[in-house]
Amino acid sequence: MPNPDLNSSRLPRLLALGFALLFIVAVPWYWGDGGGETPLVLGMPLWVAVSTAVSFLISCLTAWAAFRAWPSGGDDAEGGS
């Protein structure tokens, strides 16, 4: 049976690594000048489409991490009657 403490201690490191990799991919600094025509995706240059897609992935990862770590107190936390 896996140790839950080990898994929970590895999660922040994996999240940080995931965020770092996604931010590196999202920034278009690594795109070469190319000197030719840039391919278009839905009327946008390819680097814009990649940055937009990676931004969406960063948002999804953030939402997943927040929902996973958010304490669930049930109806008591919302002040129900």
pLDDT of 33-74, one tens digit each?
Answer: 766 777 888 998 888 899 999 999 999 999 998 888 777 766
Q: Where are the chain's structural domains?
A: 22-27+40-65
Res. 20: pLDDT tops 90: yes
Place 6 in a pLDDT band, splitting at 50, 70 and 90.
very low
Residue 70: per-residue pLDDT = 77
Whole-model pTM: value is 0.69
Buried b (16+ CB within 10 A) or exposed e, 46-61: ebeebbeebeeebeee
